[in-house]
Amino acid sequence: MKLRNFFENKVVIVTGASSGIGLASARLFGSLGARVVMAARRVSLMESLAPSVAPAERLLCVGCDVSVEEDCRNLISATVERFGRIDILVCNAGLSMRAMFKDLDLKVIRTLMDVNFWGTVNCTKYALPYLLESRGTVAGVISIAGYSALPARSGYSSSKYAVRGFLDTLRIEHLNDGLNVLVFAPGYTSSNVRNAALTADGSSQGETPLDEDKLMTAEQCALKLARALAARKSEVILTPLGKATVIAHRLFPRLTDRLTRTYIAREADSPFK
């Protein structure tokens, strides 16, 4: 199936749409003829980016903090009021962290759960009646850390495991309703997520410990997401390293723990040092 044939005139909501995978996905969906709803906290930034996403008649920007239930309710209401339906919900908004749990202020984990887990739950709750009506798709953008935990990312890994459990449960509950539920797990992807990652006291990290130029681009990731949505897949794990990590975690968990710790310890300014 050609992607344009699938996406043309579909109503697609993308959370976390002001940067990274969310912005790249919104642009791709818009280029394929979809009616795109961009949701993020930074409204002025979204509006400045809007012309690069889709023509005004096929675009809606909604200010939304996904950790706030009422914002998510408003996002869904505004979408239905403007376009009359919802075909795809992409729960992409997310936040990371980088600190050892022993040093961590617990507010950091609460914040990550509010954004990553509750943000997905909140949006899905209010979109679900419309997705069931359209026999559409809810997609959660998680991480390989949602399959195999990353040290110094206790809140991040926990929230991504939780999102996967929620979406897998939702899929089973609606097996006979025509609803598609996609768990989409990128590996390391070039984005702003590591710059905005929270440290032990809740402040932003500011700099990424990785060489972002060597990572999968957000645009490459968005294309793989679009193909997964068009194929109505239930699970996608990206990158050779990501796939190997998931398999190794299932078969050789203790060895994977050691290899993962060694890998993270090599990062610039690693919390292990």
CB 163 within 8 A of CB 146: yes
Q: Output phi, psi for 28, to 5 deg.
A: -65, -45
Report the C-alpha gap between 61 and 38 in whole angstroms.
5
- pLDDT over 60 (residue 194): no
- pLDDT, tens only, 69-127: 999 999 999 999 999 999 999 999 999 999 999 999 999 999 999 999 999 999 999 99
> What is the residue type of 145?
A
Round the average pLDDT of the chain to a whole number and report it. 93
Average pLDDT (173-182) is: 97
pLDDT tens digits along 30-72: 999 999 999 999 999 999 999 999 999 999 999 999 999 999 9
Instruction: List the beta bridge partners of residue 140.
Output: 91, 183
**Residue 21 tokens, joined:** 């995978």
Helix residue spans in 90-217 (DSSP H): 106-112, 118-134, 154-173
DSSP secondary structure letter of residue 215:
S
> Token match 């050789």: residue?
252
* Local structure of 91: helix, strand or coil: strand
Nearest to 137 by CA among 235, 262, 256, 2: 235
Instruction: Report whether pLDDT(15) > 80.
Output: yes
- Do 3 and 230 touch, CB atoms closer than 8 A? yes
Could you say which DSSP state residue 217 is in?
P
Q: How far apart are CA 189 and CA 242, in angstroms?
A: 11
The full length of the chain comes to 273
What mean pLDDT do residues 145-172 have? Answer: 96
161 is catalytic: no
State the amino acid at position 45 in one-letter form.
Answer: L
Rounded Cα distance, 255 and 198, in Å: 28
Q: Which helix (H) or strand (E) holds 256?
A: helix 253-265
Residue 263: pLDDT band (50, 70, 90) is: confident
Q: How far apart are CA 207 and CA 176, in angstroms?
A: 46
Band of residue 269 on the pLDDT scale cut at 50, 70, 90: confident
Sign of CA dihedral 115, 118, 119, 120: positive
Q: Are 150 and 206 in contact (CB under 8 A)?
A: no
pLDDT at 212 over 60: no
Choose, from 126, 130, 147, 156, the residue flagged as catalytic.
156
pLDDT in tens, 133-150: 999 999 999 999 999 999
Q: What's the pLDDT band for 22 if we cut at 50, 70, 90?
A: very high
pTM listed for this prediction: 0.92
Mean pLDDT over 212-238 rounds to 91
Confidence class for position 189, pLDDT limits 50, 70, 90: confident
Looking at residue 266, its pLDDT comes to: 86
